[in-house]
Amino acid sequence: MVSSLYPRMPGRHGSRYHECVSGAKAIRIPLLDLRAQYETIRAEVEQAVRGVFESQQFILGPDVAALEQEVAEYCGVSHAIGCGSGTDALLLALRALDIGPGDEVLTTPFTFFATAGAIANVGARPVFADIDPATFNLDPAQARAVLDSHPRVRALLPVHLYGLCADMDPLLEMARERGIPVIEDAAQAIGAEYRGRRAGSMGSIGCFSFFPTKNLGGAGEGGILTTNDGRLAARLRALRVHGSRVRYFHDEVGTNSRLDTLQAAVLRVKLRHLESWTARRIQLAGLYREKLAALGGPVMPPPLPPYPARHVFHQFVIRAPERDRLRERLSARGIGSEIYYPLPLHRQKCFAWLGYPEGSFPESERAAREVLALPIYPEMSSSSIEEICSVIGRFYSASS
């Protein structure tokens, strides 16, 4: 019996679902084990879910308002606005900042598709700048050069990939000089910190995802926006309910992107555990780092950021020579892994119209060839990490 919930999830992880049901080798150490997490909070979750059914209120309501308050406090901002998904959070943020046709938005090509998909979906054009190989995030020097040559850029959209904040100060500074907002894609980074500030509190708007596999994941789709700007908060609240501030009166056209009460009830339970889960992720990442260093190469653990930061290790991502063969070996030993992401966004078919040839962003392209995410989740045992690192060690000593 495969213990991971991951391969059971259709949709984004559909191919692994297929591998699982078609009798591929059982994964003993999955990338993530949501079932193990559920066992630790089952009673609390069941009580919260029962409460929602007793109330028969399923959309927004007191649980959503309470979650918004608690997330705002957790992220160190004055307002949080629940919505339908992380993708919707990005769309709503762009809409609230009046970004649309004729505008450009500067972002990283090395991210989950939704970041640039949202830009295109509001009718704007994604403009990419390469990543810093030391952080996998937007390189401020590259961003500056692109910004200087693109007068139509109306917003910066840095991503805090894998749970590590981008180098925000220089990005905030260049946005301030240009008089444009910064939207943080913090989908993978709840609780991450940059120079003592929380992800989602530094730009004009922060966008979070509650996709079940996230560090704070719901029991379905969900997302939240954070901001310190009361006017933006009010606009976002209206946009998520078809642009209405007073029921049945619409000042502008919005959409339906409300957060379900059930999601909020489950997320409120999980939020109470998030700090201890994050502490355990950080501890496990430290153990990985120690064990990988002891191998003496050639695997490179995630670099330590060149600025004070709290990495929340949504993913633990190594750079690995012969990455695909290593992945096969891990799988043969019952160890899950994943490639986030195998094709940078400037090379995606749907973005061919942007006209970026191969070689446009060498660091993003190199990262796509080298990265491999290894299992990390709070309930994981230290001995699993020792086993994974010894499989990696044997793989390279055999091939050298």
Ligand X SMILES: Cc1ncc(COP(=O)(O)O)c(C=O)c1O
Q: How far is the CB of 115 from ligand X (least distance, A)?
A: 5
- C-beta of residue 121 within 8 angstroms of C-beta of residue 113: no
**Stretch touching ligand X by CB under 6 A, among 55-63, 102-110, 183-191, 374-382:** 183-191
Which sign, positive or negative, has the C-alpha torsion 15, 17, 21, 24? positive
What are the residues whose beta carbons fall under 8 Å from the beta carbon of 53, sequence distance 6 or more? none
State which residue, 341 or 356, has the beta carbon closest to ligand X.
341
In the chain, what is the straight-line distance between the N-terminal and C-terminal CA atoms, in Å? 35
Which x/- pattern over 350-389 shows residues binding ligand X (rule: CB under 6 A)? Answer: ----------------------------------------
DSSP annotation of 26 = P
Decide if 371 contacts 319 (C-beta within 8 A). yes
Is residue 107 a contact point for ligand X (CB under 6 A)? no
Pair 215, 279: CB distance under 8 Å? no
Cβ atoms 116, 108 nearer than 8 A: no
Element (H, E) at 116: helix 114-121
Q: Binding string, 71-90, against ligand X, x = CB under 6 A? A: --------------xxx---
When asked if residue 260 is in the footprint of ligand X (CB under 6 A), the reply is no
Binding characters for ligand X, 152-181, by CB under 6 A (x = yes): -------x----------------------
User: Does residue 224 contact residue 83 with C-beta atoms inside 8 Å?
Assistant: yes
Map the footprint of ligand X across residues 222-241, applying CB under 6 A: 223
Under the binding rule (CB under 6 A), the answer on residue 312 touching ligand X is no
CB of 264 to ligand X, least distance (A): 15
Task: Give least dist CB 164 to ligand X, A.
Answer: 12
Residue closer to ligand X by CB (options 340, 396) is 340
Q: Binding segment for ligand X among 134-142, 185-193, 279-287, 316-324 (CB under 6 A)?
A: 185-193
State how far the Cα of 104 lies from the Cα of 116, in Å rounded to an integer: 11
Nearest to 340 by CA among 311, 312, 364, 358: 364
Please state, in angstroms and rounded to a whole number, the distance separating the CA atoms of residues 305 and 312. 12
Q: Which stretch binds ligand X (CB under 6 A): 110-118, 168-176, 320-328, 367-375?
A: 110-118
Q: What is the DSSP letter of 182?
A: B
What does the CA dihedral 150, 165, 354, 141 come to, rounded to 10 degrees? 40
For residues 363 and 131, the answer to whether their CB atoms sit within 8 Å is yes
- For residues 28 and 344, what is the distance between their CA atoms, to the nearest angstrom? 30
Judged by CB under 6 A, the residue of 4, 107, 111, 204 near ligand X is 111
Position with the least CB separation from ligand X = 86
Nearer to ligand X, 264 or 388 (CB): 264
Number of residues that bind ligand X (CB under 6 A): 14
Beta bridge partners of 79: 227
Binding segment for ligand X (CB under 6 A), chosen from 42-50, 111-119, 164-172, 228-236, is 111-119
Among 108, 142, 204, 209, binds ligand X (CB under 6 A): 209
Binding ligand X (rule: CB under 6 A), the pick from 6, 74, 110, 112 is 112
Instruction: List contacts with ligand X (CB under 6 A).
Output: 85-87, 111-112, 114-115, 159, 185, 187-188, 209, 211, 223
